[in-house]
Amino acid sequence: MDDARKIIKIDREVCWGCGNCINSCPFNPENSRVPLMWMKHAPILRLVNGACYVVSNACSSLLPNCRACEKACPTGALRILIAPLDTLK
């Protein structure tokens, strides 16, 4: 994963704003499961106008293997893509 970057993609037309992804995220301040010093990057996800929005990409480097939000999404609106770093330059 060191040579790749996790990218969270949300189709806001498909998202129904249930918040499951946010509730499952270790960076959610309400269920924090990451070191306190990482919480300066929180939240990663939040609801904006009734649909989910990616606030930060910090989990790409801090928790590169986490896919909890994608697994929790009931609609398939949230997907995680893994992009080689050399395609992002």
Nearest-approach distance from CB 51 to ligand SF4, in angstroms: 6
Give just the sign of the alpha carbon dihedral 14, 20, 26, 27: positive
* Nearer CB in complex with ligand SF4: 22/87: 22
Told to check if 21 binds ligand SF4 by CB under 6 A, we report yes
Lookup: tokens for 47: 């609801």
How far, CA to CA in Å, does 54 sit from each of 2, 69, 86?
22, 11, 22
Contact 25, 72 (CB under 8 A): no
Nearest approach in angstroms of CB 12 to ligand SF4 is 8
Binding site for ligand SF4 (CB under 6 A): 8, 10, 15-21, 24-27, 44-45, 52, 59, 63, 66-69, 72-73, 75, 77-78
